[in-house]
Amino acid sequence: MSSSPDWQKVASKIEQSTQIPFAIESVTPVSGGCINSAFIIQSKTHSYFIKLNQAKRLPMFKAEFDGLKEIAQTKTIKVPNPILYGVANSDAFLTLENTPLKYSNHQTDQQLGTHLANLHSIKQSQFGWHQDNTIGSTQQINNFSNDWVHFWQVNRLGFQIALASNNGYAPSLIDSAEKLSDLVSCFFTTYTPQPSLLHGDLWAGNAGVTKQNQAIVYDPACYYGDREADIAMTELFGGFSTHFYSAYNEAFPLDSGYKVRKNLYNLYHILNHLNLFGRSYQRQAQDIINSLLAEV
């Protein structure tokens, strides 16, 4: 990524897309992300949220753009309106509606839970998605499948296990992870998941509340999958209140087996963190694998 993006070229592309004049008056860096650079760019009348990365990362922004569009079309939960994505010189960029945030409260936590349940209630025809995307900066494989167990074994656990093996992690971890992957069907003997549109990366840093008191989610890694995978990730790092979970369960109760399966779903993210950030996640991954193997 260049140290000095061509903001005039970005502004020109925004003008072409929106058909609204846009003369930049200020560019303000936004902190918080570890994968992209982020900025608020502002004219006298409009402001936009911009993500920047290397030009080769354009497919990542296209997938995020498409995911936001698809969630928005369900009219269930608010997302930032995606404006456009493109390339300006050596930078790929994604332009979104600028949505200033405020602190959540009991009411907005409940709203988030209800709206997420509404999103998950819309059933899809297959598991997967029409394109691959990224989870963090790791490729996420979304090949369509009618079999959820196979999808999770191959496109989620199998992909991360192969990365971990290539990254040189302990053979004992790889062997036990492969053993668990072979046994995934054991966790679905009395439960049949239905394909739902998932946010896909729903930790607390990707949800908030607008100044208009609307619950909002952003930075998706969308695909059609078992809704439990979204709820499981909300528990992985914390940050979601009991009001959120109560509202979700009132609208769309979870199956009792979720208490075990959430660890299967979160193992994917822990393995991804292992592959992205290193050995500090190896013990956590092994502990989750051991606990799941003890269930079968």
Q: Which residue in 195, 215, 214, 196 sits closest to 204, CA to CA? A: 215
Query: Could you count the other beta carbons within 10 Å of the beta carbon of residue 88?
Result: 19
pLDDT reported for residue 30: 92
Per the CB < 8 A criterion, the answer to whether 46 and 20 are in contact is yes
Task: Give the single-character DSSP code of 279.
Answer: G
CB 163 within 8 A of CB 275: yes
Catalytic residue among 66, 91, 201, 230: 201
Identify the bridge partners of residue 26 per DSSP, sorted by sequence position.
42
User: Which residue ranges make up each domain of the chain?
Assistant: 7-98, 102-293
Residue 192 CB neighbours (<10 A): 9
**Which parts of 58-99 fold into alpha helices (H)?**
58-73
pLDDT in tens, the chain (296 residues): 445 789 999 999 999 999 999 999 999 999 877 789 999 999 999 999 999 999 999 999 999 999 999 999 999 999 999 999 999 999 999 999 999 999 999 999 999 999 999 999 999 999 999 999 999 999 999 999 999 999 999 999 999 999 999 999 999 999 999 999 999 999 999 999 999 999 999 999 999 999 999 999 999 999 999 999 999 999 999 999 999 999 999 999 999 999 999 999 999 999 999 999 999 999 999 999 999 999 99
What is d(CA 260, CA 235) in angstroms, rounded to the nearest whole number?
Answer: 13
Which pTM does this prediction carry? 0.96
Task: Give which of 235, 226, 296, 227 is closest to 269, Cα–Cα.
Answer: 235
Rounded to whole angstroms, the Cα distance separating 181 from 289 reads 10
- Rounded CA-CA distance 139/159 in Å is 9
Q: 219 an active-site residue?
A: no
Domain at 102-293, CATH class: alpha beta
Helices (H), the chain: 7-18, 58-73, 106-120, 148-151, 159-166, 171-182, 227-236, 242-251, 258-277, 282-293
CATH topology of domain 7-98: Phosphorylase Kinase; domain 1 (3.30.200)
Measure the CA angle with vertex 172, ends 168 and 176; round to 5°. Answer: 115
